[in-house]
Amino acid sequence: MKVPSDMQGRSLVALLRGESPPDWRTSMYYRYYHDPGHHNTRAHYGVRTETHKLIYFWKKDQWECYDLIKDRESCTISTTILSTPASSPT
């Protein structure tokens, strides 16, 4: 089936077959709107890669970053990443 020109995105068929297209995205942005929602999760923005998850809770002005290699269950906030100010001299 030809994809209509006004449609965005790509087919997930390859992923459902267990294939990884070589040009597939390696990160994803998302926004969770419900506050607090069914799981008592606050509204936030997030960026997820295979190795890290960065979350910003805009109502609390709070950041969380998780190292998914060391902590697959996202239980421990990575203070190493969060405690390094961007404006500090190198």
Query: What is the rounded distance in angstroms from the CA atom of residue 32 to the CA atom of residue 40?
Result: 12
- Owner of token pair 């087919």: 11
Query: What is the rounded distance in angstroms from the CA atom of residue 82 to the CA atom of residue 3?
Result: 42
pTM recorded for the entire structure: 0.65
Question: What is Dmax (Cα atoms) for the chain?
Answer: 55
Q: pLDDT tens digits for 35-44? A: 876 777 888 9
Q: In sequence order, what are the beta bridge partners of 46?
A: 30, 55
Task: Please tell me whether residue 90 adopts helix, strand or coil conformation.
Answer: coil
Query: What is the rounded distance in angstroms from the CA atom of residue 59 to the CA atom of residue 40?
Result: 14
Q: pLDDT tens digits for 4-33? A: 889 888 888 888 999 988 898 899 999 988
pLDDT at 58 over 70: yes
Q: Which helix (H) or strand (E) holds 80?
A: helix 79-82
